[in-house]
């Protein structure tokens, strides 16, 4: 019988601490993968991997649109984060990630899923390259 893989995005996986978020924006590293900007910091005292999501109210005036985009991002992240989580666990490292949607149009799920996968692969590559530099 094969093992069924479960995908979770629970309370401990969400980046909610104001201190951690402030530190992430102050000292974090970033890269862009249009229509996303990703800010990451290679240390997290709470969990191995925590993520937050944001959408600008400048381009999306309606809260329903912002919430829809955040839901799409969180779902795509939830389904693909296990690869990054396993990679961090093997290296005994932790990571805080904040994903910001910078696009001006409402995205469809296929685009969000594809770009989220690219972001996760890039984070794995970054963590592999900078493994010696990270405390």
CA distance 31 to 37: 6
> Which pLDDT does position 13 carry in this prediction?
82
Of 52, 54, 40, 135, the residue nearest 95 (C-alpha): 40
What CATH class is the domain 12-129?
alpha beta
> 92 — alpha (psi -120 to 50), left (phi > 0) or beta?
left
Confidence (pTM): 0.88
Q: List the chain domain ranges.
A: 12-129
Of 78, 125, 129, the residue nearest 99 (C-alpha): 78
If the chain, 135 residues long, is cut into consecutive pieces of 10 residues, what is the mean pLDDT of each piece? 66 86 92 95 85 94 96 94 90 91 95 96 87 51
Place of tokens 């296929």: 110
> Which pLDDT does position 135 carry in this prediction?
46
């Amino acid at each position: 019988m094969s093992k069924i893989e479960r995908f979770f995005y629970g309370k401990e996986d969400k980046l909610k601490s104001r201190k951690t978020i402030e530190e992430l924006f102050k000292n974090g590293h970033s890269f862009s993968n249009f229509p996303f900007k990703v800010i990451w910091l290679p240390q997290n005292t709470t969990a191995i991997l925590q993520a937050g999501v944001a959408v600008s109210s400048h381009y999306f005036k309606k809260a329903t649109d912002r919430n829809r985009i955040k839901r799409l991002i969180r779902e795509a992240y939830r389904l693909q984060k296990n690869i990054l989580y396993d990679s961090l666990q093997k290296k005994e490292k932790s990571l805080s990630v904040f994903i910001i949607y910078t696009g001006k149009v409402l995205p469809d799920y296929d685009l969000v899923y594809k770009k989220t996968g690219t972001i996760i692969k890039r984070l794995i590559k970054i963590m592999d390259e900078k493994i010696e530099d990270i405390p």
